[in-house]
């Protein structure tokens, strides 16, 4: 639709990328069949059809990723646009460097455990700063940079150095991660889940939302909300943005959350936006219902959203246990932020947001996801959450 600012965004992105496309004006005399079929969830423009597959909502990011080689790039990403040949060449040079370093170690250490001799020296510290990357490279390329046959001395040195340092393993070795959160926040929980599944170490700072810290106010001056992730001094806000950021920066660490395929990534982002805009938004409103009847009435759009999400789960998981397939992925983390509240709602009102008859797949997913060690490590205590929810509801009733 020519006047829509959302459509204009997509046209601008296609234009800047120098991509040619067929433009179809819609909504002029009602919504076309093609629109209704391509965007059955929201029935809105813009919709981008790429080789017959529709992309809705988060289109500009999809364009940038699917046409990553097409200049100019709209989103900055480290290492983007490199060909497989370039990567292979880079790796070859790195391996040559590793071999040279092995020879250097032999010469400098003179049979002792470290470059510095019996104790850690300057060169140990310099190379030690790269130890997390040695492991990252192993995960990324499938073989260790210092392996036992090619570089046996450095291979053993890595293990020895590791014992000297308790801090090295967690990527980002050298990166400092702080999370400003609030224990009951489903949004903060998403970030904690992502950090947990990625195996990243971080400092957790609990915020008193009734008396926000200066750090929160200066780190998130726009929304003044948690979660905020501070990575080496730089703040990132909004749970969806933060989880995507973590997945991009620590690509080789722990689980990769977003799918590798740009189209599947676009789908994952679409459903994440749906969870927030349709499911969570209406569920939060239902808390205002004074009686159970009022609550159930307000929950109608939530249950409709759950039904839609059940179908999305079937599509994304393809019969596997998680949205991400065999492993937990981005959408598992997005919806995972809500599982504690799902349990609390059941404990408070006997009300199942995902129930075995209406949404059996999601009901089973909640149980499966809640049982994972990485989830248990960060999930708040349900009894405490129930007390908190009761207290909030009592407060709201008193002020109305």
Beta strands 234-237 and 203-206, pairing class = unpaired
Q: How far is the CB of 334 from ligand GSH (least distance, A)?
A: 9
Q: How far is the CB of 133 from ligand GSH (least distance, A)?
A: 30
Q: Which stretch binds ligand GSH (CB under 6 A): 10-18, 87-95, 116-124, 223-231?
A: 223-231
Neighbours of 361 (CB within 10 A): 17
Cβ contact 106:153 at 8 Å = yes
The token duo for 69 is 């080689």
Q: Which stretch binds ligand GSH (CB under 6 A): 68-76, 164-172, 225-233, 247-255?
A: 225-233
3-class secondary-structure state, position 97: helix
240 or 282: whose CB is closer to ligand GSH? 240
Q: How far is the CB of 215 from ligand GSH (least distance, A)?
A: 13
- CA dist., res. 390 & res. 153, Å (int): 61
Q: Kindly state whether residue 209 participates in binding ligand GSH, applying the rule CB under 6 A.
A: yes
108 or 182: whose CB is closer to ligand GSH? 182
Left if phi > 0, otherwise alpha if psi is -120 to 50, otherwise beta: which for 132? alpha
Q: How far is the CB of 116 from ligand GSH (least distance, A)?
A: 46
Q: Kindly state whether residue 244 participates in binding ligand GSH, applying the rule CB under 6 A.
A: no
Q: How far is the CB of 5 from ligand GSH (least distance, A)?
A: 21
Which residue's CB comes closest to ligand GSH? Answer: 225
Q: Which of 64, 65, 238, 332 binds ligand GSH (CB under 6 A)?
A: 238
- CA dist., res. 62 & res. 50, Å (int): 10
Contacts of 90 (CB under 8 A, 6+ apart): 82
Q: Kindly state whether residue 185 participates in binding ligand GSH, applying the rule CB under 6 A.
A: yes
Q: Kindly state whether residue 282 participates in binding ligand GSH, applying the rule CB under 6 A.
A: no
Find the radius of gyration of the CA atoms of the chain.
25
Q: Kindly state whether residue 125 participates in binding ligand GSH, applying the rule CB under 6 A.
A: no
Neighbours of 182 (CB within 10 A): 16
Q: Which of 224, 295, 348, 352 binds ligand GSH (CB under 6 A)?
A: 224
Contacts of 298 (CB under 8 A, 6+ apart): 282, 285, 286, 288, 289
Q: Kindly state whether residue 219 participates in binding ligand GSH, applying the rule CB under 6 A.
A: no
- CA dist., res. 167 & res. 105, Å (int): 23
Q: Site residues (CB under 6 A) for ligand GSH?
A: 182, 185, 187, 209, 224-227, 238-240
């Amino acid at each position: 639709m020519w006047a829509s600012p959302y459509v204009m965004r997509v046209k601008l992105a296609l234009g800047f990328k120098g991509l040619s496309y067929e433009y179809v004006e819609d909504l002029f005399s009602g919504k076309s069949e093609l629109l209704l079929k391509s965007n059955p969830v929201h029935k809105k423009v813009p919709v981008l059809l790429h080789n017959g597959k529709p992309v809705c909502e988060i289109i500009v990011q999809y364009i940038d990723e699917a046409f990553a080689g097409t200049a100019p790039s709209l989103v900055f990403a480290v290492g983007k646009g490199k060909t497989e040949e370039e990567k292979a060449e880079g790796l070859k040079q790195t391996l040559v460097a590793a071999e040279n370093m092995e020879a250097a170690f032999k010469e400098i250490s003179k049979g002792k455990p470290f470059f510095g001799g019996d104790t850690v020296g300057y060169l140990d510290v310099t190379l030690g700063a790269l130890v997390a990357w040695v492991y990252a490279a192993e995960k990324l390329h499938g073989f260790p940079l210092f392996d036992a046959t090619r570089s046996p001395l450095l291979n053993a040195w890595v293990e020895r150095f590791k014992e000297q340092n308790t801090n090295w393993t967690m990527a980002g070795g050298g990166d400092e991660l702080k999370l400003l959160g609030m224990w009951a926040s489903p949004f903060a929980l998403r970030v904690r889940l992502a950090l947990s599944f990625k195996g990243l170490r971080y400092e957790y700072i609990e915020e008193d939302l009734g008396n926000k810290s200066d750090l929160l106010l200066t780190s998130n001056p726009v929304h003044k909300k948690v979660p905020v992730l501070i990575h080496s001094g730089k703040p990132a806000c909004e749970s969806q943005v933060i989880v995507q950021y973590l997945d991009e920066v620590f690509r080789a660490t722990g689980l990769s959350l977003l799918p590798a395929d740009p189209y599947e990534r676009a789908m994952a982002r679409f459903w994440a936006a749906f969870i927030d805009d349709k499911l969570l938004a209406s569920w939060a409103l239902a808390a205002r219902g004074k009686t159970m009847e009022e609550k159930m009435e307000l929950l109608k759009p939530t249950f409709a959203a759950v039904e839609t999400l059940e179908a999305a789960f079937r599509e994304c998981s393809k019969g596997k246990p998680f949205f991400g397939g065999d492993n937990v992925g981005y959408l598992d983390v997005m919806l995972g932020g809500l599982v504690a509240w799902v349990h609390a709602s059941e404990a408070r009102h006997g009300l199942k947001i995902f129930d075995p008859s209406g949404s059996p797949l999601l009901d089973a997913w909640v149980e499966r996801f809640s049982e994972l060690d990485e989830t248990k490590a960060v999930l708040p205590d349900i009894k405490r959450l129930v007390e908190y929810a009761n207290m909030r509801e009592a407060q709201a009733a008193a002020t109305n």
